[in-house]
Amino acid sequence: MVQKIKKSEATKNKLLDSLWKLILKGEKRLSVQTITQKAGTAYGSFYRYFKNVDEMHRELIEKRVYALAEFAEESLGVIKSPILRFYVGYYFALTMFRDKNVSAWVMKHPKFMNRTWHKFSEPTAEKFFLEAIENKYSADFTKANLEHYRRVRKFVYWTYQEILSQHAEGRPEDQIFIDFMDSTNLLDLPKKVHRSYVKKAIKVVAKFDLPD
């Protein structure tokens, strides 16, 4: 029974990985046929794991975001400041689909992306902010800043479409991050404080090899 479960999971992951490879190559025809051919599996095997290709897109987006979340959790642990962790985490989030072909693909599935971002980003951000307030790490960050973020974050999800569009155009990652963070100032911090975190985040991120 255990072997069957492992084989089932392996086949499903093979299909998801094949879809990812097709997207990276810029394949336009993402059908059951092209996906199963790439995976080297039978056509009918697809429907053992997915109702349709749309469901597969949703699961692949979740899988890629989850992989980034694991990478970020491990990477952010070395950063003492919970507020800086938030800024660095946002850099990771804004650039996780930076490949041109991948950006074009995610833009076709905004609801899936928004739902996934909401699922993974909000609990992590809340944890950072509550830590900052409890430990009084930064006098510039208070409950008022946390409440501000809670009000604006729901609107931020849809701006991700513009981020993806800029990646698809080949705009530099640092500049996208700077423009986004400056235009939103998600925590409503004083300008100088905010700019300081942006600059520090870019320096920190440069030390990591972001996953593809």
| pLDDT one digit per residue (tens) for the chain, 212 residues | 334 446 678 899 999 999 999 999 999 899 999 999 999 999 999 999 999 999 999 999 999 888 888 888 788 888 999 999 999 999 998 998 999 999 999 999 988 888 887 777 788 888 899 999 988 777 789 999 999 999 998 888 778 889 999 998 999 999 999 999 999 999 999 999 999 999 999 999 998 877 66
Residues 6+ apart with CB under 8 A from 60: 16, 19, 20
Q: What is the pTM of this model?
A: 0.85
What residues have CB less than 8 Å from 108, skipping those under 6 apart? none
* Contact criterion met (CB below 8 Å) for 117 and 72: no
CB 82 within 8 A of CB 199: no
